[in-house]
Amino acid sequence: MPINILMPALSPTMTEGKLAKWLKAEGDAVKAGDVLAEIETDKATMEMEAVEDGTLGKILVPGGTEGVAVNTIIAVLLEEGESADTLTQSAPTPTFPLPQAGEGGGAPSTPRPPAGEGLGVRAVEDEKVYASYKRQTVREALRDAMAEEMRADAGVFLLGEEVAQYQGAYKVSQGLLDEFGAERVIDTPITEMGFAGLACGAGYAGLKPIVEFMTMNFSMQAIDHVINSAAKTLYMSGGQQPCSIVFRGPNGAASRVGAQHSQCYASWYAHCPGLKVIAPWSAADAKGLLKAAIRDPNPVVFLENELLYGQSFDVPDDPDFVLPIGKAKIERTGAHVTITAFSRMVQVALDAAEILKAEGIEAEVINLRTIRPLDVDTIVASVKKTNRIVSLEEGWPVAGIGSEIAAQMMDNAFDWLDAPVVRVAGADVPMPYAANLEKLALPQVDQVAEAARSVCYRR
């Protein structure tokens, strides 16, 4: 039986990649362990090795092909005595559906419309409209934000694990070492508490560090410095000792990486006075808010999302583009129910709004953008219109952002509510690994739609 060679998934979030180059030709003998081809992911170029002995019978996807879906048959390996003539396989197709972890599982397999596109809105309310926009991934937007601020201010520097020579564990800092040199783009040892503390000290001395945590999960090693050394110092010095610093990195669940690497820190950091906490969704959010965070004289925790890094959005093509911290954005207007969300959950909320629209429910989707200070005014103004609110977040429900929003509604919008506030949140369990369980642990579009129906008394 000829053996199908499949396009491999080379990272937990990879759904497709470029087959850069074949290193074996048809007819070549292959031993297990031989490098067959080079595969480019969005993060790196990796070698694909043969796992069985045989002869490379037929190459189905030629070198240089982009966008090859994971699990596509890219070649066929012949065992001893088999002939390439017997092969009939031609059009490469995935052999089975991609595993879907969480809603959309990894980067969405179908292209999303650009932010706002198809919804009849690009900029709502006082969101400025720019003359031109360019299509960018969230990853590129973050990189550009850092590069622009580093060009503008010699005190800004980036440090973290693999940020320099490796070009970023998730390739967010790609190219920065080349442009700014090793004095300003600094590979650290794996020593989160140490380098977070070091960065706070540099912040005391007047520099403006950007600390990249490879993921925010590892910031738990350093949380004493984030809170005790960065957040509290201005206050306990009576205003004398500022610390301008950004702690950034991917937050929340990625895809199938298990309990210790899948956690949302929004609630943890939002709890602490002295910090600002930002959680962007789109590439425009990422760029405009990261620039604002770097310029801010206070400590800022900047919660990114690995699954969003590869997604593309329209970003204002304007050197002065920056977004205000503490201001939410209405991504979609609607009269019947308000849905608040942040980071990747904004897309889930927008998808739910589409389903609801077909049922005659117009949902207003608020992208919180900043978690602390929370833009309560925008939420309250929306609830005064819709009289109903659903809070959506990926993190745990207990003492979560939804709990805070519910309390704010009691304080500020009680008389306008026609239904109790409903929270949709991640399951109150450590993140499971199994694909089906992980999906159950994360908020899904249907749950959000159902919650919206319930507050509209429509079920």
Partner 1 sequence: MAARKKEKGVAVPTPDELIRYYREMLLIRRFEEKAGQLYGMGLINGFCHLYIGQEAVVVGMQAAAGPADSCITSYRDHGHMLVCGMDPKGVMAELTGRAGGYSRGKGGSMHMFSREKRFYGGHGIVGAQVPLGTGLGFAHKYSKDNGVAHVYCGDGAVNQGQVYESFNMASLWKLPVVFVIENNKYAMGTSTVRHAAGQELFMRGAAYGIPGEAVNGMSIIAVREAATRALEHARSGEGPYILEMNTYRYRGHSMSDPAKYRSKEEVTKMREQHDPIDQLKDKLLADGLIDDAGLKEIDREVKAVVTEAAEFSQTSPEPDASELWTDVLIEA
Instruction: Write the binding mask 245 to 264 for partner 1: x where contact by CB under 8 A, - elsewhere.
Output: --------------------
Kindly tell me the number of DSSP H helices and DSSP E strands found in the chain: 12, 22
Number of residues that bind partner 1 (CB under 8 A): 42
Of 181 and 420, the one with the shorter C-beta distance to partner 1 is 181
> Counting contacts by CB under 8 A, is residue 360 touching partner 1?
no
Dihedral sign, Cα of residue 269, residue 271, residue 272, residue 275 = positive
For 353-365, give the DSSP string. HHHHHHTT--EEE
Are residues 431 and 259 in contact, defined by beta-carbon separation less than 8 angstroms?
yes
Max CA separation in the chain (angstroms): 82
> Counting contacts by CB under 8 A, is residue 109 touching partner 1?
no
Applying CB under 8 A, which of residues 83, 241, 260, 436 lies at the interface with partner 1? 241
> Counting contacts by CB under 8 A, is residue 273 touching partner 1?
yes
Are residues 426 and 393 in contact, defined by beta-carbon separation less than 8 angstroms?
yes
For 145-211, give the DSSP string. HHHHHHHH-TTEEEEETTSSTT--TTSTTTTHHHHH-TTTEEEPPS-HHHHHHHHHHHHHTT-EEEE
Residue type, 52: E
Q: Tokens at residue 269, please?
A: 């950091």
Of 257 and 323, the one with the shorter C-beta distance to partner 1 is 323
Contact window for partner 1 (CB under 8 A) among 2-10, 44-52, 221-229, 377-385: 221-229
Please indicate whether residue 261 is annotated as part of the active site: yes
Of 93 and 191, the one with the shorter C-beta distance to partner 1 is 191
Of 81 and 189, the one with the shorter C-beta distance to partner 1 is 189
Applying CB under 8 A, which of residues 130, 166, 204, 416 lies at the interface with partner 1? 204
> Counting contacts by CB under 8 A, is residue 233 touching partner 1?
yes
List 261, 306, 364, 394, catalytic entry: 261
Please indicate whether residue 192 is annotated as part of the active site: yes
Contact window for partner 1 (CB under 8 A) among 194-202, 248-256, 353-361, 425-433: 194-202
Q: How far apart are CA 347 and CA 305, in angstroms?
A: 12
Q: Which residues contact 232 (CB under 8 A, 6 or more apart)?
A: 274
> Counting contacts by CB under 8 A, is residue 290 touching partner 1?
no
Catalytic residue positions?
192, 261
Where do contacts with partner 1 occur on this chain (CB under 8 A)?
157, 183, 188-189, 191, 193-207, 224-225, 228-229, 233-242, 273-274, 276, 295-298, 325
